[in-house]
Protein backbone atom coordinates (compact mmCIF):
# COMPACT_ATOMS: atom_id res chain seq x y z
CA UNK A 1 0.00 0.00 0.00
CA UNK A 2 1.27 3.40 -0.91
CA UNK A 3 0.35 6.74 0.59
CA UNK A 4 1.63 8.53 -2.50
CA UNK A 5 1.21 8.24 -6.24
CA UNK A 6 4.48 9.99 -7.10
CA UNK A 7 7.48 10.58 -4.84
CA UNK A 8 10.82 12.28 -5.17
CA UNK A 9 13.53 10.38 -3.35
CA UNK A 10 16.77 12.18 -2.55
CA UNK A 11 19.76 9.90 -2.03
CA UNK A 12 22.81 11.65 -0.65
CA UNK A 13 26.26 10.76 -1.91
CA UNK A 14 27.12 9.54 1.56
CA UNK A 15 24.64 6.73 1.02
CA UNK A 16 26.33 5.62 -2.20
CA UNK A 17 29.72 5.58 -0.59
CA UNK A 18 28.54 3.82 2.55
CA UNK A 19 30.26 6.68 4.39
CA UNK A 20 33.51 6.48 2.36
CA UNK A 21 34.91 7.86 -0.90
CA UNK A 22 33.78 5.95 -4.00
CA UNK A 23 30.99 3.43 -4.36
CA UNK A 24 29.79 0.80 -1.91
CA UNK A 25 28.14 -1.49 -4.45
CA UNK A 26 26.53 -3.64 -1.77
CA UNK A 27 24.66 -0.62 -0.43
CA UNK A 28 23.63 0.57 -3.90
CA UNK A 29 22.37 -2.91 -4.77
CA UNK A 30 20.25 -3.18 -1.66
CA UNK A 31 18.78 0.29 -2.12
CA UNK A 32 17.96 -0.61 -5.73
CA UNK A 33 16.09 -3.70 -4.49
CA UNK A 34 14.05 -1.58 -2.09
CA UNK A 35 13.24 0.96 -4.79
CA UNK A 36 12.24 -1.82 -7.19
CA UNK A 37 9.78 -3.20 -4.64
CA UNK A 38 8.14 0.21 -4.26
CA UNK A 39 7.93 0.72 -8.03
CA UNK A 40 6.46 -2.76 -8.49
CA UNK A 41 3.85 -1.77 -5.92
CA UNK A 42 2.69 0.98 -8.27
CA UNK A 43 4.35 4.11 -6.89
CA UNK A 44 6.05 6.43 -9.36
CA UNK A 45 9.59 7.15 -8.20
CA UNK A 46 11.92 9.93 -9.30
CA UNK A 47 15.32 10.19 -7.69
CA UNK A 48 17.79 13.01 -7.18
CA UNK A 49 21.26 11.73 -6.53
CA UNK A 50 23.96 13.51 -4.51
CA UNK A 51 27.68 13.28 -5.01
CA UNK A 52 29.39 13.95 -1.70
CA UNK A 53 31.05 10.49 -1.87
CA UNK A 54 33.18 11.85 -4.72
CA UNK A 55 33.54 15.62 -4.48
CA UNK A 56 32.02 18.53 -2.64
CA UNK A 57 32.74 21.87 -4.23
CA UNK A 58 33.09 23.75 -0.95
CA UNK A 59 35.70 21.25 0.32
CA UNK A 60 37.73 21.42 -2.89
CA UNK A 61 37.62 25.20 -2.67
CA UNK A 62 39.28 24.98 0.74
CA UNK A 63 42.07 23.05 -0.98
CA UNK A 64 42.62 25.86 -3.43
CA UNK A 65 40.35 25.09 -6.40
CA UNK A 66 38.17 27.67 -8.03
CA UNK A 67 34.71 27.23 -6.49
CA UNK A 68 32.72 27.03 -9.70
CA UNK A 69 35.06 24.49 -11.27
CA UNK A 70 35.00 22.46 -8.07
CA UNK A 71 31.21 22.54 -8.08
CA UNK A 72 31.17 21.22 -11.64
CA UNK A 73 33.39 18.37 -10.45
CA UNK A 74 30.87 17.74 -7.71
CA UNK A 75 28.04 17.65 -10.23
CA UNK A 76 29.93 15.20 -12.46
CA UNK A 77 30.39 12.94 -9.43
CA UNK A 78 26.63 12.67 -9.02
CA UNK A 79 26.37 11.23 -12.52
CA UNK A 80 28.59 8.27 -11.61
CA UNK A 81 26.22 7.51 -8.75
CA UNK A 82 23.26 7.77 -11.16
CA UNK A 83 24.80 5.22 -13.52
CA UNK A 84 25.53 2.81 -10.70
CA UNK A 85 21.97 3.07 -9.41
CA UNK A 86 20.60 2.71 -12.94
CA UNK A 87 22.56 -0.49 -13.40
CA UNK A 88 21.35 -2.11 -10.21
CA UNK A 89 17.75 -1.03 -10.81
CA UNK A 90 17.82 -2.58 -14.27
CA UNK A 91 19.24 -5.77 -12.78
CA UNK A 92 16.07 -5.79 -10.68
CA UNK A 93 13.99 -5.57 -13.86
CA UNK A 94 13.01 -1.92 -13.43
CA UNK A 95 13.08 0.35 -16.45
CA UNK A 96 15.04 3.53 -15.82
CA UNK A 97 16.12 6.75 -17.45
CA UNK A 98 18.91 9.02 -16.26
CA UNK A 99 18.42 12.72 -17.01
CA UNK A 100 21.25 15.13 -16.38
CA UNK A 101 21.32 18.90 -16.02
CA UNK A 102 24.66 18.96 -17.86
CA UNK A 103 24.25 17.44 -21.31
CA UNK A 104 26.13 14.19 -21.87
CA UNK A 105 24.28 12.37 -24.62
CA UNK A 106 26.29 9.13 -24.50
CA UNK A 107 25.21 8.28 -20.97
CA UNK A 108 22.01 10.17 -20.23
CA UNK A 109 19.09 12.13 -21.58
CA UNK A 110 19.10 15.85 -20.99
CA UNK A 111 16.76 17.08 -18.26
CA UNK A 112 13.38 17.50 -19.94
CA UNK A 113 10.66 17.77 -17.29
CA UNK A 114 7.73 16.79 -19.49
CA UNK A 115 9.59 13.76 -20.75
CA UNK A 116 10.50 12.84 -17.17
CA UNK A 117 6.80 12.91 -16.26
CA UNK A 118 6.01 10.69 -19.24
CA UNK A 119 8.64 8.16 -18.12
CA UNK A 120 7.15 8.12 -14.63
CA UNK A 121 3.67 7.55 -16.00
CA UNK A 122 5.03 4.52 -17.85
CA UNK A 123 6.42 3.10 -14.61
CA UNK A 124 10.04 3.98 -15.29
CA UNK A 125 12.27 5.31 -12.56
CA UNK A 126 13.78 8.65 -13.51
CA UNK A 127 17.17 9.42 -11.98
CA UNK A 128 18.22 13.06 -12.04
CA UNK A 129 21.96 13.76 -12.12
CA UNK A 130 24.38 16.67 -12.31
CA UNK A 131 22.37 18.69 -9.80
CA UNK A 132 20.92 21.86 -11.25
CA UNK A 133 23.84 22.21 -13.64
CA UNK A 134 24.74 25.35 -11.70
CA UNK A 135 27.54 25.95 -9.20
CA UNK A 136 26.64 27.20 -5.70
CA UNK A 137 23.60 24.94 -5.54
CA UNK A 138 23.16 21.65 -3.73
CA UNK A 139 21.40 18.46 -4.67
CA UNK A 140 18.99 19.02 -1.73
CA UNK A 141 17.78 22.18 -3.44
CA UNK A 142 17.54 20.31 -6.73
CA UNK A 143 15.45 17.65 -4.99
CA UNK A 144 12.92 20.31 -3.98
CA UNK A 145 12.97 21.95 -7.41
CA UNK A 146 12.56 18.69 -9.35
CA UNK A 147 9.82 17.50 -6.98
CA UNK A 148 7.88 20.66 -7.67
CA UNK A 149 8.42 20.62 -11.40
CA UNK A 150 7.37 16.99 -11.88
CA UNK A 151 4.48 17.32 -9.39
CA UNK A 152 5.74 14.83 -6.84
CA UNK A 153 3.61 14.74 -3.69
CA UNK A 154 6.46 14.54 -1.22
CA UNK A 155 10.24 14.73 -0.93
CA UNK A 156 11.79 11.73 0.80
CA UNK A 157 15.26 12.63 2.08
CA UNK A 158 17.14 9.40 2.60
CA UNK A 159 20.05 9.73 5.02
CA UNK A 160 22.91 7.48 5.93
CA UNK A 161 22.66 6.27 9.51
CA UNK A 162 20.54 9.12 10.93
CA UNK A 163 16.85 8.55 11.53
CA UNK A 164 15.56 12.11 11.32
CA UNK A 165 16.18 15.68 12.38
CA UNK A 166 17.65 16.32 15.84
CA UNK A 167 18.11 19.53 17.82
CA UNK A 168 21.86 18.84 17.81
CA UNK A 169 24.19 16.44 16.01
CA UNK A 170 23.30 13.05 17.57
CA UNK A 171 26.82 11.75 16.86
CA UNK A 172 28.33 14.50 18.99
CA UNK A 173 25.56 15.22 21.50
CA UNK A 174 24.30 12.00 23.15
CA UNK A 175 21.15 13.61 24.60
CA UNK A 176 20.13 15.24 21.30
CA UNK A 177 16.36 15.14 20.84
CA UNK A 178 14.72 13.94 17.64
CA UNK A 179 11.80 15.83 16.15
CA UNK A 180 8.86 13.90 14.70
CA UNK A 181 7.52 17.04 13.08
CA UNK A 182 9.01 20.44 12.40
CA UNK A 183 7.62 23.45 10.61
CA UNK A 184 9.71 24.91 7.81
CA UNK A 185 10.26 28.04 9.89
CA UNK A 186 11.39 26.08 12.97
CA UNK A 187 13.83 24.20 10.79
CA UNK A 188 15.21 27.42 9.34
CA UNK A 189 15.42 29.45 12.54
CA UNK A 190 17.23 26.62 14.34
CA UNK A 191 19.80 26.58 11.53
CA UNK A 192 19.59 22.79 11.22
CA UNK A 193 22.08 21.21 8.84
CA UNK A 194 20.35 18.02 7.76
CA UNK A 195 19.00 19.68 4.61
CA UNK A 196 20.16 22.99 3.27
CA UNK A 197 18.21 26.18 3.92
CA UNK A 198 17.55 26.92 0.25
CA UNK A 199 15.79 23.58 -0.21
CA UNK A 200 13.67 24.03 2.92
CA UNK A 201 12.65 27.56 1.94
CA UNK A 202 11.68 26.30 -1.51
CA UNK A 203 9.51 23.66 0.17
CA UNK A 204 7.96 26.27 2.45
CA UNK A 205 7.20 28.70 -0.36
CA UNK A 206 5.53 25.97 -2.38
CA UNK A 207 4.04 23.93 0.45
CA UNK A 208 5.50 20.50 -0.20
CA UNK A 209 6.39 18.17 2.70
CA UNK A 210 9.89 16.84 3.21
CA UNK A 211 10.43 13.65 5.19
CA UNK A 212 13.94 12.99 6.50
CA UNK A 213 14.47 9.29 7.22
CA UNK A 214 17.15 6.66 7.71
CA UNK A 215 18.08 4.70 4.60
CA UNK A 216 20.45 2.46 6.50
CA UNK A 217 17.53 0.56 8.02
CA UNK A 218 16.30 -2.04 5.58
CA UNK A 219 12.71 -1.63 4.45
CA UNK A 220 12.49 2.06 5.31
CA UNK A 221 11.85 3.20 1.73
CA UNK A 222 8.74 1.00 1.59
CA UNK A 223 7.72 2.19 5.08
CA UNK A 224 7.96 5.87 4.29
CA UNK A 225 6.19 5.40 0.94
CA UNK A 226 3.42 3.52 2.75
CA UNK A 227 2.90 6.57 4.94
CA UNK A 228 4.33 5.04 8.13
CA UNK A 229 5.45 7.76 10.52
CA UNK A 230 9.17 7.30 10.49
CA UNK A 231 11.86 9.97 10.53
CA UNK A 232 11.02 13.66 10.75
CA UNK A 233 8.41 15.45 8.68
CA UNK A 234 9.24 19.03 7.79
CA UNK A 235 6.00 20.66 6.77
CA UNK A 236 3.63 23.55 7.36
Q: Which is nearer to ligand UDP, 13 or 164 (CB)?
A: 13
CB atoms within 10 A of CB 199: 24
> Which residues does residue 110 pair with via DSSP β-bridges, in sequence order?
100
Among 34, 51, 88, 108, binds ligand UDP (CB under 6 A): 51
Stretch that binds ligand UDP, among 34-42, 54-62, 119-127, 226-234 (CB under 6 A): 54-62
Looking at 41-106, list the stretches that DSSP marks H as alpha helix, in order from N- to C-terminal side: 57-62, 67-91
Q: Which is nearer to ligand UDP, 78 or 233 (CB)?
A: 78
Interaction between residue 156 and ligand UDP (CB under 6 A): no
What is the end-to-end Cα distance of the chain in Å, rounded? Answer: 25
**Under 8 Å between Cβ of 144 and 210:** yes
Q: Residue 137 annotated as binding?
A: yes
**Beta carbon of residue 5, minimum distance to ligand UDP (angstroms, whole number):** 25
**Beta carbon of residue 71, minimum distance to ligand UDP (angstroms, whole number):** 3
CA distances from 218 to 67, 165, 222 (A): 37, 19, 9
Q: Which is nearer to ligand UDP, 142 or 162 (CB)?
A: 142
* Separation between Cα atoms, residue 232 and residue 235, nearest integer Å: 9
Q: At what angle do helices 139-149 and 197-206 cross, to 10 degrees?
A: 20
Stretch that binds ligand UDP, among 92-100, 139-147, 163-171, 178-186 (CB under 6 A): 139-147
Give Cα 19 distance to the centre of its chain: 15
- Which residues contact ligand UDP by CB under 6 A? 12-14, 50-52, 56-58, 71, 74-75, 78, 131-132, 134-135, 137-140, 142
Amino acid sequence: MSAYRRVLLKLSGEVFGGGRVGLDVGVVRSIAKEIAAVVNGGTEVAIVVGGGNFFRGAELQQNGLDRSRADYMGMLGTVMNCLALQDFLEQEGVETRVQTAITMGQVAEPYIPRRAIRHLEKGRVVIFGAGAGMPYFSTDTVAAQRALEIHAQVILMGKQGVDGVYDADPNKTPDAVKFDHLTYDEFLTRGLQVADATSVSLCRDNDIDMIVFNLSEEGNIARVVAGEKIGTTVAR
